[in-house]
């Protein structure tokens, strides 16, 4: 699935490179349609083109290069769009999610060509494809018993949402949590907050249709977003505001709404990735007087090599239910329609089966 500048995404036949030392060829079996992919299409992000879309995926290893040690032919793997090099300053200081070799890389060339010309791949993966060639640190083996569709979600939505709760916000039992935006990541936040023992999980979205999905994920309350959101949240939290508000949209307006919905001394966690020119403003006085913490959560602040296998075990053990996240099962040709549904705020995750 390739996008040319100024055109809708379309199917195209590409030539993959031969694998080299330390590389792995993966047959993609399932890929989630993530909002970050939509951001590559609608102009929120401006990656180079032509571009192979897709980054949240799982598949089967079909070939390995020399010196590969972490995967073998036949392994089932989750693709990691932000693999840690384990050698830069951030990796050596316990922040592999900020690895200087992969953090902030929207697209890169990987030897793939279209009609002999180089093609970029989204977040170093380009997973809306039958096969991909990636470095071995970009694959994470998972148990074969785990379905590819659920495994794919671990690579972005579930890891990001769960990590925002566990690693960034560090939600404690009994605390109140507001979740703004109920796509795949937001619903994962809702589930993780309930699993962490939050006393209240208030799910917020612009669409009333998300109520059922929010309740299935474990929300105690559902609120349709409006200009009176902060008043509505305070009316449900003893007039205080939430202990935590986790923003999963990535817009200045929703970040401000999250800030106002949070109690004095509470924490706002921004998960959504927004546009560079969408500015959020705070006065010096309100930052001081509110005593709130404003933090970003990049990829759930997760060490993927440890946390993806742990999440896979939780799914297989019945501790983590992901069934409610998949609202549409589609083919590659249906990805543009999935983007349209996402832009309208419909459903949770569309998963491409290959």
What lies within 8 Å, CB to CB, of 162 at 6+ separation is 188, 189, 191, 192, 300, 302, 307, 311
CB atoms within 10 A of CB 36: 23
Predicted confidence (pLDDT) per residue in 56-65, tens digit: 999 999 999 9
Q: Does domain 161-299 have CATH number 3.40.50.720?
A: yes
Residue 3: pLDDT band (50, 70, 90) is: low
pLDDT at 104 over 80: no
| 189 Cα distance to chain centroid | 11
Q: How far is the C-alpha of 76 from the C-alpha of 157, rounded, in Å?
A: 19
Is residue 90 scored above 80 in pLDDT? yes
- Please name the residue that has the structure tokens 């053990």: 317
Domain made up of 2-141+322-353: CATH architecture:
Alpha-Beta Complex (3.90)
Domain ranges for the chain, please list them.
2-141+322-353, 161-299
Q: What proportion of the chain, given as a percentage, has pLDDT over 90?
A: 78
Per-residue pLDDT tens digits for 251-304:
999 999 999 999 999 999 999 988 889 999 999 999 999 999 999 999 999 999
**pTM listed for this prediction:** 0.92
Bond before 50 cis per omega within 30 degrees? yes
Is residue 19 over pLDDT 80?
Answer: yes
């Amino acid at each position: 699935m390739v996008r040319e500048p100024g055109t809708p995404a379309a199917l195209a036949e590409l030539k993959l490179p031969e694998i080299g030392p330390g590389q792995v060829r993966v047959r993609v079996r399932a890929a989630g349609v993530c909002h970050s992919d939509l951001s590559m299409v609608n102009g929120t992000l401006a990656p180079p083109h032509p571009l192979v879309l897709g980054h949240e995926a799982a598949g089967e290893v079909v070939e390995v290069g020399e010196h590969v040690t972490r995967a073998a032919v036949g392994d089932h793997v989750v693709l990691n769009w932000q693999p840690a090099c384990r050698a830069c300053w951030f990796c050596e200081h316990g922040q592999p999610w900020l690895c200087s070799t992969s953090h902030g890389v929207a697209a890169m060339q990987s030897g793939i060509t279209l009609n002999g010309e180089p093609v970029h791949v989204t977040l170093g993966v380009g997973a809306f494809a039958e096969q991909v060639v990636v470095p071995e640190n970009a694959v994470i083996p998972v148990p074969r018993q785990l379905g590819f569709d659920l495994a794919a979600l671990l690579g972005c939505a579930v890891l990001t949402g769960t990590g925002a709760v566990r690693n960034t916000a560090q939600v404690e039992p009994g605390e109140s949590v507001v979740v703004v935006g109920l796509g795949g990541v937001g619903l994962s936040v809702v589930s993780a907050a309930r699993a962490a023992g939050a006393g209240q999980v208030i799910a917020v979205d612009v669409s009333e249709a998300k109520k059922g999905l929010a309740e299935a994920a474990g929300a105690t309350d559902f609120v349709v977003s409006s200009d009176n959101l902060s008043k509505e949240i305070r009316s449900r939290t003893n007039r205080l505001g939430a202990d935590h508000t986790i923003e999963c949209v990535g817009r200045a307006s929703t970040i401000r709404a999250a800030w106002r919905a949070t109690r004095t001394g509470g924490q706002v966690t921004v998960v959504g990735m927004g546009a560079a020119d969408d500015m959020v403003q705070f006065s010096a006085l309100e930052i001081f007087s509110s005593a709130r913490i404003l933090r970003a959560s990049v990829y759930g602040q997760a060490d993927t090599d440890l946390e993806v296998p742990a999440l896979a075990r939780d799914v297989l053990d019945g501790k983590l239910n992901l069934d409610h996240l998949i609202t549409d099962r589609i083919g590659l040709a249906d990805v543009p329609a999935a983007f349209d549904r996402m832009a309208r705020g419909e459903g949770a995750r569309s998963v491409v089966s290959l």
